[in-house]
Each structure stands twice: as structure tokens, then as C-alpha cells.
Structure 1
Amino acid sequence: MDVSVAFSPFVPVWLVAAFAVVGLTLAGLGVVRHVRGSAFRLVAVALFAIALLNPALQREIREPLDGVVAVVVDRSQSQRTAGRLAATDRVAADLTRRLEATPGLEVRTLTVDRPPADQDGTALFGPLADLLGDVPPDRIAGAVMVTDGQVHDVPETAPFNAPLHALVVGEEDERDRRIEIVAAPRFGLVGSTQTIKVRVEDAGAAETSVPLEVRIDDEVVETRTVTVGEEVEVAAPIKHGGDNFFQFAVPSVPGELTDVNNTAVAIVEGVRENLRVLLVSGEPHAGERTWRNLLKSDASVDLVHFTILRPPEKQDGTPINELSLIAFPTRELFSQKIDEFDLIVFDRYHRRNVLPSLYFDNIAQYVLNGGAVLIAAGPDYAGPRSIYHTPLAAALPAAPSGDVIEAPFRPAVSERGARHPVTRELPGSEASPPAWSDWFRQVETIPVAGETVMTGANASPLLTLSREGEGRVAMMMSDHIWLWARGFDGGGPHVPLMRRLSHWLMKEPELEEEALRLDAGAGSLTIERQTLADGVAPVTLTTPSGETQDVTLEESAPGLWTADIADPEMGLYRATDGTLTALGHVGPANPLEARDLRSDTERLAPIAEATRGSVRRVNDVADTPRILMRTEGRAMAGSDWLGLRQSEASELVGVDRLPLFAGFLGLAFLIAAVGGTWWREGH
């Protein structure tokens, strides 16, 4: 209870001050001149000024506030070993019950089972700060953490002015063999070999060497013997674009905590060097630069472009030394260096005695061995000099009928094309007819292989995609895609179509028409199955702990079937549908949580000491210490008890006020002052 004097002036303070100054000045002059009654006048003026200020005795009525204690329960992945989780739950439940029964305490409980999406390792102090963020500092009684001690966000300074205690679940001298990724690149050029450094740790073990198994994309490639505690360099060939999975495993041993961290994964993203494209343009036409402009705009493409303006049979009398054209290096391109290109594009090219039949045979072999060819055809493909009448025909999926359709038509995505990643959901394709402009010429063909993903006039094949041997071929049976590029009648989706088409030819993994993928994030996992079929089989998913489950996929888009896995555990997942397999890793590839699973009392010791708290081991309810409330300045921990700071905060619930100059008492003082003045002046 606090008692104080408060003022509630009847008139503005400045007016009271003016009255007091004038009155006291005049009375003071009277005292100086020895005027009779001046001292009484001083007292009377002062009493009147004080009365105008309306003083009162004020008493605050307060109620004490409960202190707030936080109980943080660690249920992270490292706790899911050796029965720790059950012990943690028992200790936390008993501790919470006893704290709630303690007078003057408000208990707040926080359970942490996974790190935030942008953080690696077990984070307890960040969530603790959020839990107590609305509590005034003088109400914080302390915090108690029930954990295994593997905490990775321990601050350097005390988070509050109250004791922090840690109850560590786990035994001393635990054994845990583990493998750690010391250094691994995040990216690597496809075809290059990177180096990954690993180290095997096995504290307290008698063995000095252990076998190390190396897997690449889930296939065993090497087994070697390594020394415990020494860094080992492993060659990591980057075989394909996208994620390359490198797995390292050591055998488990009897008596170790868990074999979860006996396997480590490094994920290296394969990045292709700039893709090399050879573009050969035949006779000039209105859309000749369409393919060139698109390929030149792609920073990942190195383009070599030749336009054949003057074939050998053309004789116009121009001296050779006056020609400004560059001779077409046919031998270098189609014999010596053909394998250096990722894609060859023939844009309205027909036989003009520039490429002999031998070179077309080279191109066909180039496709069968893994290369890619795109035919952007015009009327030339239907004529007698068509490149179909060369050895290249063995790799082409469509034969010309000999007819060229010269009539307006609206390109459309076929039923199969609606499921193909090259043409699926092209902008404007959802309308009927598609919301893009007409074309006016198409070469009629007879499909002999591949998939027709777009149709044109009379529903005949317009865009055909085919796999030939290990390579790929695409045929666009019209030379009017430039109308979309020029915006004729609103244009069309030429950029996404041409870019997807060229990237499919160059085997970008995202555009595979038959694929199984695991899209793994920090705390999410999605199974994706891309197919041209009408349905898909269930997928068998293997979790990091070795458990398997059959997952039924649902169609989320034409040709795309997906399923989301709720609350996935961290680690490497495998998925298979019997034909295709996929790998995915949830969380960091080399998580802090799995590097050391032994219970630890050292990590939290400095911060506990800084807050005058304690760190001790508990493995059951019987080990839980007593709870004592302590005032500031006293010890906060003992051998069998832990202390919490007693709150001295209070809440104002009322105020009692006693005016000093109100009623008869105040009136008596004023009358006495005036009467004394009159009496003194009268004598």
C-alpha cells in the first residue's frame, strides 16, 4: 500500500501561483516593515493557496500479479531415440502439474517438434522469446527446458533476468557412430567430377577403421575402408542435370543410440554448360529470324546460325574473291564436330547439294546416339528435294504425303498434347477454339512414330515429338509460327511453346513426359507422376526410417498426378511405381539435428550459469527436482531443487482519496488564519 499527496486544483494552477506570488509579496513587505499582523497574513495567504490546490492524501490499493514460468518441451528428431521422447513427456507432465499447483505462478507450456522452415537444427530459444514476448520483465519467474541438450540456437547473453533451468534427458557416456558431411559443393557442371569430404565419428569405440559405402542416385558405386575421425575425399561425378544424390553409409554397431545418422546425403545440383545449338536456315522466308531470335534471347544457349543464300549450283558470274558470304563449313559441322551440339535445327531446309547423303547419315546416327533434331518445315518438306528423301528419314517420325494445305486453320493442342509438358496449359489453349490467331499453311504428313501433340488443318499432325534411339526429334509442319511472333490477329504463345520444345529436345528433366519426382521442401513432400497414360499405379514410398507405404495419387492437372505427404520426417525418401524411381530429401541434406544425437549438458551450461539457473540430468519423474519460489538476490538452484523468481509486480485495483482542506477541518484552518490576522491587527 502506497500513500502519497495528490493535488486537484479548483482553478488553473497559474492563477493560484499568481495569487500566491502577489499575496506573499505584499505580506512579506509587511513583515519587512514590521507591519502588525503581517506574519498572520503570510500564513493566511499560504493556506488559501494550498486550499485552492485542493491537496489530498491518496492511497493506492494493489493486488500482486502472478509470475510467469515457461516450460519448453523438446520433441525434436534427436529426442526420438533410446526412449527419450517417452521420458521427456513424463517429466514435462509432472513438472507442469507441480508448477501449476504452486501459488503465485502462471505456467505457459511450449512444445517444439521441428525447426522453422528457414532454420537448421533444434531451436528452443527463439520460440521461448515469442512465448514470453508479451510478459513484462518483472513478471518473468524463469523457464525450464526438458530436452536432450542438443540445442542449436543458444544465445550468447541471458534472454531475461530470471533463472533458466535445463532438465536433460539421456544417459552419460552414450555411444553413437555417425557420418558427417564436412564439405560438399552445391552445384556442379554436368560431366564434371566434384569432391565431397566426409568424416566418420565414433566416440568411445575400439575400432579405428570402418567400411564406408558410397551410393550415387541410390546405386552402390564404391565400398572403401576409412579411418575413424579422419576426413575422406570422395569423387562425385555429376551425371545429369537437376539433383544428384550422393549417399554415404557406415554399418551400425551394437549399443549405439541409433543408426539414423549412420547415413548422410549430399545433394549436388547438376548444371549444364551453355547448350550448343546449330541452326541451319534454308531459303529465306518471312519467319526466318523467329527461331534465331528465340534462341539468342536464351542466355543458356550458344547459337551457331548459318543461312544458305547461295548454293553451289547457283552460277551468276560473280568472282569468288568478291563474295562476302562465308563458305558453309559442312565437313567441320556435320562430320568432325557434330557431337559437340546439343540440338540441330533445320528451318525450311531442303537438299541443295550443300550436304551430301553421308552427312545426313551422320545426323541420323547423331540422333540415335543421344542428339536432338528439330525440323521447322515449309513447302520444301513436301517436294522432291525434301530432307525426308535422305538417310535422315530413318530418324524422322512423319512422312510427307506430298500435299501442302493453303487455307486458314487454328492450331490446337491434341488430347495427348494436353497431357504433355511441352504443350500442357499453353496460354490460350483452355478456350474452344484456342484464343490465338490462325495460320495459313501446313505440310500434310503421315505419322509413323512419336506423339502428335498439336494438330492443324483437317486435324492433321502439326507438331510431332518422337524419341529415336537415345535421341529426340521434333517436327513442326508449318512455317507460320512467325505470325504469332509478329502479333498477327492477337498472336499466340510462341515463346513458351518454342522454349519448351527446344528444352524438351535438350532433355531438361522438368519436361520429361514420363517421370516420377519427389518435390521436397523444408517441411513438405509432394509426389509427382507425369504421364501420357489415362491413369497411374500407386507409388511405394520408403521413409528415412525404412518404413514403406503405398500412396495413391490424384490427377491435379492433365497428365500430372500428385499426392502430398503430411508432416514428413527429415531425411531421404525413395519412391517407385515399379517402373520409375525417384529420390527426395526433406530438410537440410546434412542437418545439425542428426550430426550428434548424444545427450549433452555442456551446450546449455553457459546460459544457465548466466541466469543463475542449473543443468541436470533426469530420466524419470523420480528425478524431477523440487520447485522453490525465491526472491531476488537469493540462490536459484540446489542439489535437489530449482528456484524461480518470485514476482514483485502488482496491479492497481483502486485508489482511496482523503482531501486535506475539505469539510470542517479545512474550514477551521482558514477561519483560524483569517481570525488570527484580524486579532493581531486589532491589538
Structure 2
Amino acid sequence: GEEHDRRLRILEAPPYAIVGKVATIRVQIDDLGPDPDRGATAELRVHRAGGPDTARSVAVGEPQTLEVPIDHAGPTLIELEAAPLPGEVSDVNNRATLRINGVRDKLRVLLISGAPNQGERVWRRLLKADPSVELVHFTILRPPDKDDLTPLSELALIQFPVRTLFQDKIDQFDLIILDQFDDSTRLPDAYLANIADFVRQGGGLLMTAGPEFIGPGSLQDTPLGDILPVHVPVDGGLHEQRLVPELTELGRRHPVTADLPGVTPSGTDWGPWYRELLGQTPREGSETLMSGPTPEGGRTPLLVLDHVEQGRVAMLLSDQIWLWSRGEGGGGPQAELLRRLSHWLMKEPQLDEEQLDAAITDGTLTVTRRS
């Protein structure tokens, strides 16, 4: 008998699309063979990784426009399939697979420094140099409970817009960084609870902690403490001596810290820090990537990551990473580490612990898993 064949073609597909928007794809289904039905329709199914399958009836032989939502950064794998034609010999060309990379228009980062410090300069340089980041930065110049008679006009450039940042517009940010920040009468619990909810609903939070974390107004004693992966005892929680951060076994595999410059088979050749917090056992399910020495000769967590419902949290239990940028003892990979850390918190797929990658070569789909 005479052979009939149905073919699905991708006419146009963008390599990139903005996260939160749709990617517009043009396809066409053709029925090949003698005397094709000019008014025929066919079911076109669309499968998007991580999303629901959809199906629609389309006219055969005419270009069709599809709009596919892109809801995360990184690659989105899309499979298209035309329903088979009755009696066709093979349906291998009824399917087509494509990959569209989701890119963010801008990542909005809120950086709050609890006091002027060396570390905030490292953060500013890093985030200002990243073209994908829009940075909003505030430094607390004087706590509200401290009165040194300095006129306000000489102290503050602008008033700290607490309500605007932590209530009205908090959902406009992708990442909040609290740099050596305590809560000595600065933020009502309701605003700190808003930050915790911001994380639970999908935001990122990074905390760099120093001595203020175990002093009066510690954030671990506020509603924010409920989402932090590590708590530090007030008594004996501060350890001040020369130390060199090391990667844990997990840290050597995790994409945030794996293959950082200066990592050696036996440790690291990074420069020293001189202060760390001695955290208690991290929350179950969290990931300790870096550690430091304890006075007793053991190890204590230095960098801990955690997933909190839909969001992510990272804690750096030292305020000394800025020493690397100054070249102390040879320095260290502070720029690359902080870049990876901030992008992991903002859910960059290339930094996920569990990752599926797909590639199409000569018509063969290859899926690679990293865990």
C-alpha cells in the first residue's frame, strides 16, 4: 500500500527567554504522501519539564504559534509531539525536543550592613560588578539606641526606610544579605517575620555573622531564628585565633565550593582568618560546606546552606572573609565564592546540588544527572 507519514517541524524557537515571560515557538505539522487531507487537524501535545502537559488541536500544513511559560533561570526542556497519523509506518519524526535558557531580566539584591565594616566593600564591589544584579545597599551608621550628640544631618544620608524595605517592597527582591547585622531595637519582630516569610515563599537570605550574633539583639533570638540553619551559644560561642577555612567532604563536591581556586588534595592554600563563631550542630538536612577548627581540636561549621520551604538560606559564621580580598596570607577565592553563593541563593540551576542536564546530538537525547 501507499505510505503516509506525519512530520513535526520547528520553524522558529528562541535560544533564550526572560524568566517570568513566555517563549514563543512556531511549529508546523505536515502530512506527507499521496492525496493528503488538506483540511486535516492533528493533536499537538506540549510537555515542559517541571510543568503540566498541554494539548491542542491544530490545522495540518499551517504554521502554529505556541507560547511556553519560562518560570526559572537556566535550561527548560520542551518536548513537542504530534498525534500519529493512522497507518503511518513510523512516528519518529512526530516528535521534536528543544531547550530554551531562562535568563533573569535583573536580580534584585538588598544588602544591609549593620555597621560600616571592611566586608561591605567586598560585597559592594562584587555585586556592582555583576551586570545581572541590581543592588540596593544600606549601612547602619549609628544604632538608634546610641546617642553621641552627632546631628542627624551630619550622620545619615537618608533615613533607613524600614517599612518600605521589609513590608511594602520586600517581595521585589530576590536576595537579602544581612552583613554583621543585629537587632538591637532596629526592626520590630513583625518585619523580621516578614524576612522569614520572604524566604519560605522562595527568596534567598545570606547572613555573615560576627560577634554581634551572640550579643544583645542577636537575630537568632528573633522570628528570623526559626529559619537559620545554625545557632551559636552565647557563652563560649566566639573563637578568636588564627584559622584557615577548609572544605568539608560535601564542600568538595557541592557546586558552590567544588574546584574553588586554592583547593588542594589535602586541604587548601587559602590565607587565614582570625575569628569564627562556634556553632552548634546544624539543622538536619542542611549542608555544611566549610569548617574551621575548634579549641578542642575538632571542627566547627563555617559555611552552612539550607533549603527552607521554597527558599534558601546561607550562613557564614565569620566576619573575616574580607581579609582574603586584602591578600592576607596569600588571600583566597572570596569573589568567586561569594558570587557562587549569591547565585545559588537566587536559584541559579548550574549551582543546584541535584541537576539534570539534557543535550541533543545527531538526533539523540542525552540526559546527565549530577548529585
The aligned residue for residue 188 of structure 2 is 356
* CA–CA separation in structure 1 for the residues paired with 2:359 and 2:145: 56
Distance 1:210 1:516, change over 3 A: closer
Q: Quick check: 2:141–2:155 contact (8 Å CA) kept in 1?
A: no
Match of 1:456 among 274, 281, 292: 292
Match of 2:117 among 277, 281, 285: 285
The aligned residue for residue 509 of structure 1 is 349
The aligned residue for residue 486 of structure 1 is 326
Q: Please give the secondary structure, in 2, of the residue aligned with 1:447.
A: coil
Please state how far the C-alpha of 1:228 moved relative to its aligned partner: 1.5
Residue 308 of structure 1 pairs with residue 308 of structure 2: no
Residue 189 of structure 1 pairs with residue 18 of structure 2: yes
Relative contact order higher in (CA < 8 Å, ≥ 6 apart): 1
TM-score calculated relative to the size of structure 1? 0.50
* CA–CA separation in structure 2 for the residues paired with 1:176 and 1:521: 24
The aligned residue for residue 445 of structure 1 is 279
TM-score calculated relative to the size of structure 2? 0.91
Q: Please give the secondary structure, in 2, of the residue aligned with 1:334.
A: helix
Per-residue deviation, residues 476-503 of structure 1 (Å, max 9, x unmatched): 0111111111111111111221111111
Distance 1:324 1:286, change over 3 A: closer
The aligned residue for residue 476 of structure 1 is 316
Distance 1:494 1:525, change over 3 A: farther
Please state how far the C-alpha of 1:525 moved relative to its aligned partner: 6.8
Please state how far the C-alpha of 1:299 moved relative to its aligned partner: 1.2
Distance 1:480 1:521, change over 3 A: farther
Q: Quick check: 1:213–1:220 contact (8 Å CA) kept in 2?
A: no
* CA–CA separation in structure 1 for the residues paired with 2:154 and 2:269: 50
Q: Name the structure with the higher helix share.
A: 1
Q: Quick check: 1:197–1:233 contact (8 Å CA) kept in 2?
A: yes
1:283 counterpart letter in structure 2: A
Distance 1:351 1:241, change over 3 A: same
* CA–CA separation in structure 1 for the residues paired with 2:288 and 2:54: 43
After TM superposition, the structure 1 = structure 2 runs for residues 405-424 of structure 1, keeping only pairs within 5 Å, are: 405-424=239-258
The aligned residue for residue 262 of structure 2 is 428
Please state how far the C-alpha of 1:208 moved relative to its aligned partner: 1.6
Q: Quick check: 1:199–1:230 contact (8 Å CA) kept in 2?
A: yes
* CA–CA separation in structure 1 for the residues paired with 2:14 and 2:173: 27
Distance 1:196 1:520, change over 3 A: closer
* CA–CA separation in structure 2 for the residues paired with 1:515 and 1:494: 25
Q: Which moved more, 1:265-274 or 1:497-506?
A: 265-274
> Post-superposition, which runs of at least 4 consecutive aligned residues in structure 1 deviate over 4 A?
318-324, 519-527
Distance 1:521 1:487, change over 3 A: farther
How many equivalent pairs are there?
Answer: 360
After TM superposition, the structure 1 = structure 2 runs for residues 163-182 of structure 1, keeping only pairs within 5 Å, are: 174-182=3-11
**Percent sequence identity over matched residues?**
46
Match of 1:246 among 78, 81, 85: 78
Q: Quick check: 1:400–1:444 contact (8 Å CA) kept in 2?
A: yes
* CA–CA separation in structure 2 for the residues paired with 1:370 and 1:328: 25
Please state how far the C-alpha of 1:515 moved relative to its aligned partner: 2.3
2:8 counterpart letter in structure 1: I
Q: Quick check: 1:405–1:457 contact (8 Å CA) kept in 2?
A: no
Q: Which runs of 5+ in 2 are unaligned?
A: none
Q: Which runs of 5+ in 1 are unaligned?
A: 1-170, 532-683
Per-residue deviation, residues 378-397 of structure 1 (Å, max 9, x unmatched): 11112122111110011000
Q: Quick check: 1:281–1:308 contact (8 Å CA) kept in 2?
A: yes
Q: Quick check: 1:343–1:372 contact (8 Å CA) kept in 2?
A: yes
Per-residue deviation, residues 453-477 of structure 1 (Å, max 9, x unmatched): 1101221111111111111110001
Q: Quick check: 1:218–1:247 contact (8 Å CA) kept in 2?
A: no
* CA–CA separation in structure 2 for the residues paired with 1:503 and 1:412: 21
* CA–CA separation in structure 2 for the residues paired with 1:298 and 1:426: 19
